[in-house]
Amino acid sequence: MKANRIITAVFATLLPLAAGATTLVIPASGTGPGANDSHWATELTLHNTSASAITTTLTFHDVTGAAGTSAVTVAPRATVSIADVVATRFGRTTATGAIDVTFDDAFARKLTVTSRTFNKSDAGEFGQDIPSVDLASVPADGSVVVLSGPSSASDARFNVGIYAADASTVKWDLVRADGSVAASKEISYAAGTQVQYNSGVSSLFNVDSQDNDTVQATVTSGRALPYGSVVNNASGDPTYVPAVLALSDRRINFLGVEFGNYGKIDIADANHDGTLDRAIDIQTSTFPVGFRVVVSAATPATFELIDAPSGARLADANGTIFWMPDARFAGTSTTLRLRVTADGTTEIITIPVNIH
């Protein structure tokens, strides 16, 4: 028995460790005809700075999810360029979607991925660079993304799209140049899907576009990467509009948490940033600890725990939480995150926690 254990241990040290994967996302690519006699194609370029060959897996995502894969190997210090990648690698004649490029973590900073999506016309090519984004940095719930539209709505169309890395819900707001919100819509997306709204103001919000329209996308659950594209109607020349992370004034006032029904805030969110000013302390016990999340809003608020830690649950509709942490979590820190909806908006509240 002892000899068998020793032999097993030796073999275990000789086996390679399972490698992680890095994924870079190109949120928009395409092939085929578009509006105003445009014809689109995406060129994908991969460059290897390593002394070893890198094998990647390309995955095309459209409204149905993952819709095809293709393997690409880049030789040491070499460059591979794939013309009209959506057509040549995924066999599509007309399509718009995102492309994931996945490869071994060991090459995380040794493979660069760039793309160019362009309109081919008799006058030549008019193109836009669409940069790759590390999947790990895709905006998560609570993020506010700003997409700026054209200064002249009559001269250019404003396309808006999104790639959902996980199952996600996004609240879209159309903000006019004067600051008024012309329309809002909340949409849920399945994991791994990509959707583009061509002439996005009319197709997404069902209103006419105006000069200097801005689209704000608030990720209320999951992880999703919005993007935009402004295309000149006369020339077909496109300009990519990247996701710009921003902060907005909070419309739901998170007052803090209270222990017991005494009408007194025990720990506050004094700076109103949606995160409790300091961590609450929770003791492991055979009995649950209760506290209430307190918000101020004109309309009754609804609460939902996001990825609730083990033993935590909402006890009622008033934001009361009962939590009985297991003893194995003693000495650790974590966060409680709640999705709160009131006054026509949804915001994320964060509560840091120390478990004793």
Q: What's the CATH code of the domain at 224?
A: 2.60.290.11
Q: Are residue 238 and residue 286 in the same domain, yes or no?
A: no
Whether this model's pTM surpasses 0.85: no
Q: Give SS3 for 43.
A: strand
Range of the domain at 308: 253-355
Identify the domain boundary among 197, 228, 246: 246
CATH of the domain at 344: 2.60.40.10
User: What tokens were used for 321?
Assistant: 């939480």
Of 242, 243, 241, 229, nearest in space to 119 by CA: 229
Give the pLDDT mean for 327-350: 88
Residue 25 and residue 125 in one domain: yes
Decide: helix, strand or coil at residue 205.
Answer: helix
Residues 6 or more apart in contact with residue 249 via CB below 8 angstroms:
none
pLDDT score, position 123 = 77
Q: What is the pLDDT of residues 180-215, one digit of tens each?
A: 999 999 999 999 999 999 999 999 999 999 999 999
114 and 206, same domain (yes or no): no
- Give the pairing of strands 320-323 and 289-296: antiparallel
Chain centroid to Cα 265, Å, comes to 34
Q: At CA 270, angle to CA 266 and CA 271, rounded to 5? A: 155
Dump pLDDT digits (tens) for 3-45: 333 333 332 333 333 358 999 999 999 999 988 788 999 999 9
Place of tokens 């109103």: 272
Distance from C-alpha of 329 to C-alpha of 282, rounded to nearest angstrom: 11
